[in-house]
Amino acid sequence: MNEEASIGRVIDEVRKALGPRLLEILVVDTDSRDRTREIATAKGARVIPEPRRGYGRAYKTGFHEARGTYIATLDADLTYPADRLPDFLAALETDRADFVSGDRMSHLGGEAMSGMHRIGNAILNAAFRLLYRARIRDSQSGMWAFRRSILPRLYLVHDGMAFSEELKIEAIRNGFRFFEIPVDYRVRVGDKKIRSTSDAVKNLIWLARKRFGWHPKPR
């Protein structure tokens, strides 16, 4: 939503990184009021309107529309390095993994993440490891690649920021081979949308509720 300052560069980075591959680039747009849709369309992306708000809601809509063998994701704000996508896809194509996730925390430096955001991530990572007995370094990462064929086995219900951790929980719980690749994390372009404290608290509560059996119906 409202990422006109970065969306074109993100698409350019993806095309450059993946070169001659047959690509389907999807941009899920949550009622942007700027030129996000126009820029994405001009760059050759298929823009999918999704008027319902929410990080998870946008991803679920995008997953439903995707047609490729693999799905790879990036935020639209240039924080994640598209040039690492070939490494993510190589892990899938060589059958080393079913789900690959970016690990921002191992190489985190500079000013890309505020102090409160770092603390929140550390707490959420510790809670994830404790509740789900999973070795994970970055439970909140938003850069993933996975086989589209695994989606029917993932019970994904959250429409907000906790969707990121829910997706990883479902992949791990269902026995899919989960693999993390360290990536650089960059300063976002455009206005910040995440609310570090409130989002962290909500995500922590969601981790516990999902662990102990709260299962609403998917939307």
The set of long-range contacts for 120-128, using a CB threshold of 8 Å and a minimum separation of 24, is 120/196, 120/197, 120/199, 120/200, 121/200, 123/200, 123/204, 124/165, 124/200, 124/203, 124/204, 124/207, 127/204, 127/207, 127/208, 128/165, 128/168, 128/169, 128/207
- pLDDT tens for 146-158 read 999 999 999 999 9
CB within 8 Å of 175: residues ≥ 6 apart:
none
For position 114, what pLDDT does the model report?
77
- Give the pLDDT score at 73: 97
Q: Which residues of the chain have pLDDT under 50?
A: none
Report the pLDDT value the prediction gives residue 215, as an integer from 0 to 100: 60
Antiparallel, parallel or unpaired: β 46-49 and 26-29 = parallel
Domains of the chain as residue ranges with CATH: 7-211 (3.90.550.10)
d(CA 111, CA 22): 35
Specify the pLDDT at position 170.
96
Side-chain half-sphere CA neighbours of 51 within 13 A:
0
Coil vs helix vs strand at 46: strand
The total of other beta-carbon atoms located within 10 Å of residue 86's CB is 16
- Which residues pair with residue 150 across a beta bridge? none
Q: Give the pLDDT confidence score for residue 110 in this predicted structure.
A: 72
State the Cα–Cα distance between residues 59 and 38, nearest whole angstrom: 20
| Residue 2 confidence (pLDDT) | 95
